[in-house]
């Protein structure tokens, strides 16, 4: 099901309102977001050489057990292609299982087992992908040597098996698509109660014309100086 990459080099940390995160691959900011100033654009092309992929590595409390993870959700907007081949998806790594990943897929409510035909050119909320009511069969323990259940199962079944294991990574990735490529905007991601809003947070976000992208609070600004002044007061 798609291309299952190993997350590689991580970019320097980028602060967000509520939760911090880092980018990997070709992830970048885009404006505006979902009723906000900014979102993240994930693009991928499995036929490019080298392969094009991108994602967001999300921070969380150290020592978190898998059983403590109760919410994964995000807003998404496909701007080129749609969901397919198991991409995009959340990934969860465990300390005791290096090289193995629990995938939680973003799929359309109408056909949760097909991984295709997500709505395009409009923001959609996944809802909580771990609550087991809306999307009951989109969790895959990939490359776990002691997993004996079906390839796709419920979150409850995965937690029953690995709930006592320590989480070492949570990420959101685009690395394929139904035609090999994919572009999707991501905004307002939740891990439990932590919000990753991807909003501008510092003076440098005002530079290079950045002040003009503030169409939502705390903007709009009349000029770069007004934007710089606002973030300077937050220090």
Q: In this structure, are residues 69 and 191 in contact, taking their beta carbons and an 8 Å threshold? A: yes
Residue whose tokens read 């005791």:
96
Output the pLDDT for position 111.
64
The beta-strand segments (E) located in the chain are 21-25, 28-30, 39-45, 54-58, 72-80, 89-94, 101-105, 124-125, 139-142, 167-174, 181-191, 194-196
Indicate the length of the chain as a whole number: 235
All domains in the chain, ordered by first residue: 21-199 (2.60.120), 200-235 (no CATH)
Q: Within the chain, which residues score under 50 in pLDDT? A: 1-17, 135-136
**Is the Cα torsion angle 174, 116, 30, 48 positive or negative in sign?**
positive
Output the pLDDT for position 112.
60
The torsion angle over the Cα atoms of residues 127, 132, 136 and 138, rounded to 10 degrees, is: 60
């Amino acid at each position: 099901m798609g291309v299952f990459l190993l997350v590689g080099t991580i970019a320097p940390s980028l602060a967000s309102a509520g939760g911090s995160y880092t980018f990997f691959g070709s992830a970048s900011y885009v404006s505006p977001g979902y009723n906000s100033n900014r979102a993240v654009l994930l693009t991928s092309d499995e036929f490019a050489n080298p392969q094009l992929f991108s994602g967001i590595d999300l921070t969380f409390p150290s020592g978190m057990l898998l059983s403590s993870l109760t919410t994964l959700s995000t807003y998404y907007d496909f701007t080129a292609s749609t969901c397919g081949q198991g991409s995009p998806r959340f990934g969860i790594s465990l300390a005791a299982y290096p090289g193995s990943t629990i995938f939680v897929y973003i799929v359309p409510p109408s056909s949760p087992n097909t991984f295709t035909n997500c709505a395009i050119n409009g923001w959609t909320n996944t809802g909580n992908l771990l609550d087991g009511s809306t999307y009951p069969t989109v969790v895959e323990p990939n490359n776990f040597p002691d997993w004996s259940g079906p390839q796709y199962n419920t979150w409850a079944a995965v937690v029953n098996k690995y709930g006592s294991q320590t989480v070492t990574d949570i990420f959101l990735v685009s690395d394929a698509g139904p035609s090999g490529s994919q572009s999707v905007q991501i905004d307002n991601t939740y891990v439990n109660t932590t919000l990753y809003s991807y909003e501008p947070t510092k003076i440098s976000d005002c530079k290079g014309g950045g002040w003009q992208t503030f169409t939502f609070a705390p903007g709009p600004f009349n000029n770069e100086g007004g934007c710089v002044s606002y973030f300077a007061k937050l220090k």
